[in-house]
Homo-oligomer: A and B are copies of this chain.
Amino acid sequence: MRGMADFDTRWSIRVYYEDTDAGGVVFYANYLKFFERARTEWLRSLGIEQLELARNTGMIFIVRATALDYLSPARLDDLVVIKSRIERIGGASVDFLQEAWRDAPDGSSELLARGSIKIGCVAADTLRPGKMPAHVRDAMQSAARTAQALADATARSAAA
């Protein structure tokens, strides 16, 4: 079993004025944008571009559900690291667990937000649910397995 620290991928995001609100912190809805950027870049690293996917297969990903806890505020100029991992891959859907972290000057890390994001695969024209293209599903499963194997190896070597 993997601990919370074992994530498949990391993506860094800088906080600009556009991301903040009059409370002086990142507007909470923007963590959904940050999380999506991280998922998109992870897909891109697997060779999957979403516009190309829509053109070649007629399928697009849509977000079906999001559940986030906002734990500590990010501020202007912060560098936020988004950690993402696949929790479940189905035939027409995939669930992610994602977290936003900030490195403190002393080297420690602070958890800013955490959430689960449920993604569905739908036809771009009708928005009706449909099967995820096989090469996309395979790429995701392979990446998740590799991450799992790395995490297991790390856990074993830590236990040894």
Contacts and interface: CB of A to CB of B under 8 A. Distances in A.
Interface string A126-157: 01000000000000000000000000000000
Range, interface on chain A: 35 or more
Contact of A23 (B25, B36, B60): B60
Contacts of A29: 18, 29-30, 32-33, 36
B23 A27 contact: no
Given A66-B67, A77-B49, A17 B21 contact: yes
Interface stretch (A2-10, A68-76, A87-95, A96-104): A68-76
Contacts of A60: 23
B62 A70 contact: yes
Interface in A42-88: 44, 49-52, 60, 62-70, 73, 75-77
B51 A75 contact: yes
Contacts of A67: 65-68
A146 B90 CA distance: 45
Given A14-B41, A23-B127, A28-B32, 13 more contacts: A16-B33, A16-B36, A16-B37, A20-B22, A22-B22, A23-B62, A23-B124, A28-B62, A28-B66, A52-B77, A62-B73, A64-B69, A66-B68
B16 A40 contact: yes
Contacts of A50: 17, 76-77
